[in-house]
Structure 1
Amino acid sequence: MKRLLKYILIASISCVFLIYALMSGFLWWSEANLPKDSGLGSLHINSEEQHKLLLIDSGKEGLKRRIDAIESAQTTIELEYFIYELDLASQIITQKLIEAASRGVEIKILVDFSAPVFKLRPQYASFLNKYGIKVRYYNTAPLFQFINIQHRSHRKFLIVDSKTVITGGRNIGSDYFDLSTHYNFLDTDIQVTGPIVKDIRKSFNSYWESSLASEPELITETITGFVNQTEVKRVLSSLDAQIFPKAEFECNNIDFVTDSPGLELKNRKVYSYLENKLASAKESVFGESPYFVLRPDGLNLLASLAERNIKQTYLTNSLYSTDAYYTVSAFLPVADNLLDLGIKLYLYNGKALEPDHQSRWGLHAKRAVIDGRHTLIGTYNIDPRSANLNSEVLISCNDNELLAKRVLSSMKSRRKNAWQLQDAKSDVYTVITKEAAWRQKIKMLVVLPLAKIFDFLL
Structure 2
Amino acid sequence: MLQHERTGFIHAFVYSVSFVALVGCAQLPESTSAVESSAFADYRSTTLGASFAEGEDAHPGESAFALIKNGDQALAARLALIDSAEQAVDVQVYIWEPDETGLLMAERLVRAANRGVRVRVLVDDLGFGGDDAGIAAFDAHPNIEARLFNPFANRGFSMADFLFDLNRVNHRMHNKMLIADNSIAVVGGRNIGNHYFDSDPSSNFRDLDIGAIGPVVREASQVFDHFWNGDDAIPVVDIVEQAADINDATTMIANVREQLAQAETTGIAEDNVIALSKVIHEDWQRWPWARGRIVWNRPDTVAESGATGEILIALRQRLDSVQHTLNTESAYFVVRDGGVERLGSLTARGVKVRVLTNSLLSNDVLAAHAGHAKYREKLLAAGVEVYELRADSNVIKSKLGGESRAGLHTKAITFDNEASFVGSFNLDPRSANINTEAGIYVESETIAADLNAYMVEGASLKNSYRLSLDEDGDLLWTTEIDGETVTYDEDPLSTFGQRFTTGFIKLLPIDSQL
Short-chain TM bin: 0.7 to 0.9
- Contact 1:48–1:254 at 8 Å: present in 2 too? no
Q: Report the AA paired with residue 333 of structure 1.
A: K
- Contact 2:204–2:396 at 8 Å: present in 1 too? no
- Contact 2:107–2:256 at 8 Å: present in 1 too? no
- Deviation per residue, 1:22-53 (Å, 9 max, x gap): xxxxxxxxxxxxxxxxx9xxxxxxx9623221
Question: 3-state SS of the aligned residue for 1:377?
Answer: strand
Q: State, as a whole percentage, how many aligned pairs show the same letter.
A: 27
Q: Report the AA paired with residue 440 of structure 1.
A: Q
Q: Report the AA paired with residue 177 of structure 2.
A: F
| 1:266 Cα deviation from its structure 2 partner | 4.4
Question: 3-state SS of the aligned residue for 2:236?
Answer: coil
| 1:273 Cα deviation from its structure 2 partner | 0.3
Q: Report the AA paired with residue 343 of structure 2.
A: L
Question: 3-state SS of the aligned residue for 1:358?
Answer: coil
The counterpart of 1:269, out of the listed 310, 332, 347, is 310
- Deviation per residue, 1:152-191 (Å, 9 max, x gap): 1111110111111101000011100011112110000001
- Contact 2:182–2:221 at 8 Å: present in 1 too? yes
Question: 3-state SS of the aligned residue for 2:109?
Answer: helix
Q: Report the AA paired with residue 121 of structure 1.
A: D
Alpha carbons of 1:385 and 1:153: their partners in 2 closer, same or farther (altered >3 Å)?
A: same
- Contact 2:95–2:191 at 8 Å: present in 1 too? yes
The counterpart of 2:446, out of the listed 402, 411, 426, is 402
Q: How does 1:274-293 map to 2 (within 5 A)?
A: 274-293=315-334
The answer to whether 1:422 aligns with 2:468 is: yes
Highest Rg: 1 or 2?
A: 2
The counterpart of 1:441, out of the listed 496, 499, 507, is 499
| 1:437 Cα deviation from its structure 2 partner | 3.8
Q: How many residue pairs get matched?
A: 407
- 1:17 maps to which residue? none
Distance 1:55 1:185 in 2: 16
Q: How does 1:146-165 map to 2 (within 5 A)?
A: 146-165=166-185
- Contact 1:352–1:360 at 8 Å: present in 2 too? no
- 1:300 maps to which residue? 341
The answer to whether 1:386 aligns with 2:406 is: no
- 1:238 maps to which residue? 268
Alpha carbons of 1:428 and 1:282: their partners in 2 closer, same or farther (altered >3 Å)?
A: same
The answer to whether 1:371 aligns with 2:424 is: no
For the aligned residue pairs, the C-alpha RMSD in angstroms reads 2.3
| 1:240 Cα deviation from its structure 2 partner | 4.1
Question: 3-state SS of the aligned residue for 2:362?
Answer: coil
Alpha carbons of 1:431 and 1:183: their partners in 2 closer, same or farther (altered >3 Å)?
A: farther
Q: Report the AA paired with residue 296 of structure 1.
A: D
TM-score if structure 2 supplies the norm length?
Answer: 0.75
Distance 1:352 1:292 in 2: 22
- 1:359 maps to which residue? 404
Alpha carbons of 1:432 and 1:74: their partners in 2 closer, same or farther (altered >3 Å)?
A: farther
The counterpart of 2:147, out of the listed 113, 116, 136, is 136
The counterpart of 1:127, out of the listed 131, 137, 140, is 137
TM-score if structure 1 supplies the norm length?
Answer: 0.84
- Contact 1:53–1:193 at 8 Å: present in 2 too? yes
- Contact 1:260–1:391 at 8 Å: present in 2 too? yes
The counterpart of 2:102, out of the listed 86, 90, 103, is 90
The answer to whether 1:249 aligns with 2:295 is: no
Question: 3-state SS of the aligned residue for 2:341?
Answer: helix
Alpha carbons of 1:343 and 1:176: their partners in 2 closer, same or farther (altered >3 Å)?
A: same
Deviating more after overlay: 433-442 vs 316-325 = 433-442
| 1:125 Cα deviation from its structure 2 partner | 1.7
| 1:110 Cα deviation from its structure 2 partner | 0.6
Distance 1:48 1:380 in 2: 28
- 2:203 maps to which residue? 183
| 1:324 Cα deviation from its structure 2 partner | 0.7
Q: What are structure 1's unaligned runs of at least 5 residues? A: 1-38, 40-46
Q: Report the AA paired with residue 492 of structure 2.
A: K
Distance 1:431 1:391 in 2: 38
Alpha carbons of 1:214 and 1:230: their partners in 2 closer, same or farther (altered >3 Å)?
A: same
Q: Report the AA paired with residue 290 of structure 2.
A: N
The counterpart of 2:354, out of the listed 309, 313, 332, is 313
Question: 3-state SS of the aligned residue for 2:178?
Answer: strand
Distance 2:489 2:357 in 1: 13
Distance 2:490 2:323 in 1: 30
| 1:241 Cα deviation from its structure 2 partner | 3.8
Q: How does 1:321-360 map to 2 (within 5 A)?
A: 321-350=362-391, 351-353=393-395, 357-360=402-405
- Deviation per residue, 1:248-302 (Å, 9 max, x gap): 5323211211121231354621110011111110111010001111223222221
Distance 1:197 1:405 in 2: 23
- Contact 2:340–2:382 at 8 Å: present in 1 too? no
Distance 1:96 1:239 in 2: 12
| 1:60 Cα deviation from its structure 2 partner | 1.2
- Contact 1:165–1:197 at 8 Å: present in 2 too? yes
- Contact 1:419–1:431 at 8 Å: present in 2 too? no
Deviating more after overlay: 356-365 vs 178-187 = 356-365
The counterpart of 1:206, out of the listed 205, 226, 244, is 226
| 1:235 Cα deviation from its structure 2 partner | 2.6
| 1:82 Cα deviation from its structure 2 partner | 0.6
Q: What are structure 2's unaligned runs of at least 5 residues? A: 1-35, 37-58, 153-160, 478-487
| 1:431 Cα deviation from its structure 2 partner | 5.6
Q: Report the AA paired with residue 438 of structure 2.
A: V
- Contact 1:335–1:428 at 8 Å: present in 2 too? no
